[in-house]
A and B are shown apart, each in its own frame.
Chain A
Amino acid sequence: MKGIAASRGIGIGSICLIVEHDLSFDGKKIENVDAEKVRFSAAIEKFKAETAEMAENIRKNIGPKEAEIMEGHLAMIADPTMSGEMTKMIEAGQCAEAAVTAVCDMFIGMFSKMEDDLMRQRASDISDIKISLLKILLGVEDVDISKVAPGTVLVAHDLTPSMTSQIVKGNVVGIITEVGGKTSHSAILARALEIPAVLSVPDITKQVKDKDTAIVDGTEGDIYINPDGDVIAQYVRKREDYVRAQAELKKFVGKKTVTADGKEVELFCNIGTPTDAKKAIECDGEGIGLFRSEFLFMDKPHLPSEEEQFMAYKEAVDIMGDKTVIIRTLDIGGDKEIPYMDLEKEENPFLGFRAVRYCLGNPEIYKTQLRGILRASAFGKVKIMIPLVTCVDEVRAVKALVEECKAELKSEGKKFDENIEVGCMVETAAASLIADMLAKEADFFSIGTNDLTGYTMSVDRGNAKVANLYSAFQPAVLRSIKNIISAANEAGIPVGMCGEAAADPLMIPLLISFGLDEYSVNPVLVLTARCIISKWTKEEADALADKVLSLATEAEVVAALKDAAK
């Protein structure tokens, strides 16, 4: 069977199926109220103990912020109204399951009607509590993912963050789910944990049972259930090859990134928080090609102040020393829930008031960020990157705001880099078509292949029914990428790529041929990318690109690239 290859590597193991339980119950009147109350109290105590343990695990393994969700559940269940109402219903002759359901549903109804987004999230917390309590009362055992045996392949409809948080890296050798794409939450976490994963396999939970043997090929997106011995032997060899290749990568530590014919390129990292910069250094990244600034806005109950932003940017800049740090300004829209920002729910958030459009519509918010970045630029090599550019006016407007901020900082006697570069993300069909015009305004380009593919192919990558169209190897996307890089080369400005494609072994020869200057990748892929880049000469890459650009279908393109892969 085939799914989406979401995290590289080969896993062979025994399946642990995570099923959604049937939580229906018989809502009969009870005879012995006291016995029911004892049963209810025992369930509450068990819930508290389990939740406290989970909170502690999450705090240790992930962080205190993530543990707060579980601590919130504890506070809610300890609430006198919550347990009090449940007890009253039991005293009136209802069974504990009915009491839990009725009281939780009442609160869910109350919270889900609220205007406040944060409050509405409480409804899902109470729903979690309800499900956990019902499971305890009905004696339904949940699989404890943290306790699965070594050599387990997890199969689930979807992998929630709380499930992922329980994964012990040494024990889980593969992940298969029914939903999700390459850039979904579960894919990102699987890659961070370096566990092979294949996602979007239709109805897989209905086709397997516990202890079935599974092969997960997260590089190709193939899975095999109960394969015969020959297939297993073949994949055992593949797994050894993969492990050996990983070991070979270690040889590239500390080396420059050069093509086989000696052209040096830059190999940067994508990061989401200042501490990720440490990971970039550990993984031998040569700079930061994309520092997403959204974390500053998502983690707080209010807009981050200039000082808070300055400190966060400076932290990353300090870690990187004299290496480049490209900070992407706020890239957010109506698909994200940030209560204090008054982001309206939109019919089409990805075509709406987001990213640079929102920032230019709220210049005071934007200037706070620009001032924070400018002040951090006094401490290293910082560049500003504008997301979702579609026309020249946007670049001009941002540059004007940057100049305004510079003048203000100068009059306040605050330091910054006078010559800070302002570049744009090229990730829309519009920007690609006018790349030559944008190249006259911007100091650099960075191609965001994730959005460029989505916008060019008009496809929602999270929708399994159309996700097959979502490929950077579609001829339309390849032409677009080539056009963008050529425009930058002709204008003499540097051009990078910060989408997932920059680390794709099949894409790299094309990027070498097109003339990409900077590759920005997930830190764990730095060595892989450096290794692949080292194998190609410009001449070989050009020959392959010529051939591939004449092919009319994605399947032919991928086949030709795989055929030529080194």
Chain B
Amino acid sequence: MVSKKITVTNAQGLHMRPATVFSQAVTKFQSDVKVVFNGTAYDAKSVMMLMAACIKSGSEIEVQCSGSDEKEALDCAIKTIESGLGD
């Protein structure tokens, strides 16, 4: 498993649209992708779970990827968050 911590900086936090952008970006990987926030792991391929986590702008999250393409998945996840999630 590979993982990395990152701060969510887009203004809305992980609301509907940003969460959709993020989950779509990681869904194409075979690896399991999880977002750990406040000690709970959420399935990053699920918009509903991402929104349920209620991650606000400025929050630090950890992205965990495990599977055959885990490195690529993590790179993509981090890049997507850094780019502002379509905001």
Contacts and interface: CB of A to CB of B under 8 A. Distances in A.
A79 B47 contact: yes
Interface stretch (B10-18, B59-67, B71-79): B10-18
14 contacts: A72-B16, A72-B20, A75-B16, A75-B20, A79-B47, A79-B48, A81-B43, A81-B46, A107-B52, A111-B51, A118-B16, A119-B15, A122-B16, A302-B11
B34 interface: no
A302 B9 CA distance: 13
Contact of B51 (A78, A80, A122, A301): A122
B49 A114 contact: no
B54 interface: yes
A300 to B, nearest CB: 9
A119 B56 CA distance: 11
A114 B46 contact: no
- Among B15, B16, B43, max chain A CB count under 10 A is at B16
A114 B47 contact: no
Interface string A97-117: 000000000010011001110
B20 to A, nearest CB: 4
A78 B20 CA distance: 10
Interface in A59-81: 68, 72, 75-76, 78-81
A111 B52 contact: yes
B57 to A, nearest CB: 9
A82 interface: yes
A81 B48 contact: yes
Interface of A: 68, 72, 75-76, 78-82, 107, 110-111, 114-116, 118-119, 122, 301-302
A122 B51 CA distance: 9
Contacts of B16: 72, 75, 118, 122
B54 A80 contact: no
B29 to A, nearest CB: 13
A76 B48 contact: yes
A110 B46 CA distance: 15
Contacts of B52: 107, 110-111
Given A122-B16, A301-B12, A76 B47 contact: yes
A116 B19 CA distance: 15
Interface string B36-51: 0000000101111101
Contacts of A301: 11-12, 15, 87
B56 to A, nearest CB: 8
A299 to B, nearest CB: 13
B45 A80 contact: yes
Given A80-B43, A111-B52, A302-B11, 8 more contacts: A80-B45, A82-B48, A110-B52, A118-B15, A122-B16, A301-B11, A301-B15, A301-B87
Interface of B: 11-12, 15-17, 20, 23, 43, 45-49, 51-52, 54, 56, 87
A102 B3 CA distance: 34
A81 B45 CA distance: 8
A21 B7 CA distance: 46
In the A-B complex, the 6 residue pairs with the smallest Cβ-Cβ separation, listed nearest first, are: A81-B46, A75-B20, A301-B12, A79-B47, A79-B48, A302-B11
Contacts of A80: 43, 45-46
Contacts of B45: 80
A410 to B, nearest CB: 32
A191 B10 CA distance: 39
A111 B50 CA distance: 12
Contacts of B51: 111, 119, 122
A353 to B, nearest CB: 24
Contacts of A114: 54
A248 B15 CA distance: 52
A80 B20 CA distance: 12
Contacts of B43: 80-81
A68 B17 contact: yes
Contact of A119 (B20, B46, B54): B54
Contacts of B15: 118-119, 301
A81 B49 contact: yes
- Among B20, B43, B48, B87, max chain A CB count under 10 A is at B48
A78 to B, nearest CB: 8
B36 to A, nearest CB: 17
B48 A107 contact: yes
A302 B11 CA distance: 7
Contacts of A75: 16, 20, 47
A464 to B, nearest CB: 33
Nearest to B18: A301
B78 to A, nearest CB: 21
A122 B15 CA distance: 10
A301 B56 CA distance: 12
Nearest to A340: B11
A118 B15 CA distance: 8
A485 B68 CA distance: 77
Contacts of A79: 23, 46-48
A116 B52 CA distance: 11
A110 B56 CA distance: 17
A68 B20 CA distance: 12
A301 B86 CA distance: 13
B65 to A, nearest CB: 16
A40 to B, nearest CB: 18
A535 to B, nearest CB: 53
A118 B54 CA distance: 10
Nearest to B46: A81
Nearest to A84: B46
Nearest to B52: A110
Nearest to B87: A301
Nearest to A68: B17
Contacts of A82: 46, 48
Contacts of A116: 54, 56
A249 B54 CA distance: 55
A116 B45 CA distance: 22
